[in-house]
Amino acid sequence: MKQSYSYFQRQQKSLLFGASLYVILLVLAHSTLPSIHVWLMAAVFSVAMNFTYVTEAYWGKAHFGIEFGIAATLIVASILGVLVSPVFVIAAIFAHGLWDISKHFGAGVPFLSWYTLSCFCVDVMYGGVLALYWWANY
């Protein structure tokens, strides 16, 4: 009997490589750009990372409502981070990290363990760096 795998399970190496390259380039870009671009890039990062679980829920036909609701909330917070205050995008990135660790323990659509743990670490570290950057510049 042939085992069925999700798109993300089949693309683990590509996903790991792409995500790693993106995070490295993101951090390098922050050191050379004006402040507004830091918050725009953080918001784009936050918005983009919210599509992974929604996509998996859609393809897997399970947990779509919860995944969409959380993603929509975090996307709105990310946009408010650019329009109102950077605190919103920082909170959205931290909250996504909390959702990642919750997924590791079984919440929402099932996902790759290495990905949820790695994403949690990236979100917490990146959120921390952004919080320090905000504190130092505002």
Distance CA 55, CA 46 (A): 15
Q: What is the pLDDT along the chain (138 residues), one digit of tens a residue?
A: 344 456 667 777 787 787 778 777 877 777 778 888 899 999 999 999 999 999 999 988 899 999 999 999 999 999 999 999 999 999 999 999 999 999 989 999 998 888 898 889 889 989 998 998 899 887
The pLDDT value given to residue 20? 75
Q: Which of 61, 50, 53 is nearest to 107 (CA)?
A: 53
Contact between residue 97 and residue 124 where contact means Cβ atoms under 8 Å apart: yes
What pLDDT does residue 5 have? 54
- Longest Cα separation, the chain: 59
Q: Is residue 50 within 8 Å of residue 69, measured between CB atoms?
A: no
pLDDT given for residue 3 in this prediction: 45
